[in-house]
Chains A and B, each alone.
Chain A
Amino acid sequence: GAVVSQHPSWVICKSGTSVKIECRSLDFQATTMFWYRQFPKQSLMLMATSNEGSKATYEQGVEKDKFLINHASLTLSTLTVTSAHPEDSSFYICSATRGTGSYEQYFGPGTRLTVT
């Protein structure tokens, strides 16, 4: 159990366009989802924390108007990269936790975004 999926697994888009990435918990309800960004051979940088039904909490330095996060249900969170630029090219990974008191984060397989 505790499977998290992401879609798409990779995407190429042109500068100026927007891209939506979905994160789903397949076999559990995720009260909290997290969005990370990972550059090659580097660590995971937390972008935002998303709780179902409320606004996401963004980390310092992350533009909330550029990285739109929606957590509409207990099994789905979306990250939309708006007006993408080449510097937004990265590996985006989501994770989810089961609920209150649960500490383990279950990670999705990640989405490779390339902006040309």
Chain B
Amino acid sequence: GQQVMQIPQYQHVQEGEDFTTYCNSSTTLSNIQWYKQRPGGHPVFLIQLVKSGEVKKQKRLTFQFGEAKKNSSLHITATQTTDVGTYFCAGRVTGGGNKLTFGTGTQLKVEL
């Protein structure tokens, strides 16, 4: 079945450092979404990427969708303590309806 892996599994940074999480799917995706889950909370939608090679920015967050539509990345510039949480990518395949396959997640910790 479809698998979506993320690396790294954990990342510990000092506040102000940059952070990147990478997402790789075993199958080609029709689109990919990113979610953030704070400790003890539930996933919250961040963004969706649809086009091959697409790049979107949200303030300090930059999202990319690979040319082959099998990988994606999330980059945070100058992390802040409010960025703490687990970041999940979630992919949708053509013909899969609204069903998402979530990645393994990257847990980010930010120290002052």
Interface positions, chain A 64-107, Cβ under 8 Å from B, are 93, 95, 97, 103-107
Main secondary structure, interface of A, reads: strand
Q: Determine whether B27 belongs to the interface, using a CB cutoff of 8 Å to chain A.
A: no
Task: Quote the shortest CB–CB distance from B40 to chain A (angstroms).
Answer: 9
* Chain A residues at the B interface, C-beta cutoff of 8 Å: 32, 34, 36, 41-46, 49, 60, 93, 95, 97, 103-110
Residues of B within 8 A of A (CB): 1, 31, 33, 41-45, 48, 88, 92, 97-105, 107
In the complex, given contacts A32-B98, A43-B104, A107-B43, what are 15 additional A-B residue pairs having Cβ atoms less than 8 angstroms apart?
A: A32-B97, A34-B98, A34-B99, A42-B104, A43-B88, A43-B102, A43-B105, A46-B99, A95-B43, A97-B98, A103-B48, A105-B33, A105-B43, A105-B45, A107-B44
- Chain B residues with CB under 8 A of A32: 97-98
Closest B residue to A2 by beta carbon equals B45
- What are 14 sample pairs from A and B whose C-beta atoms fall under 8 A apart? A34-B99, A42-B104, A43-B88, A44-B88, A44-B102, A45-B102, A49-B97, A95-B43, A103-B33, A103-B92, A104-B45, A105-B43, A106-B45, A109-B42
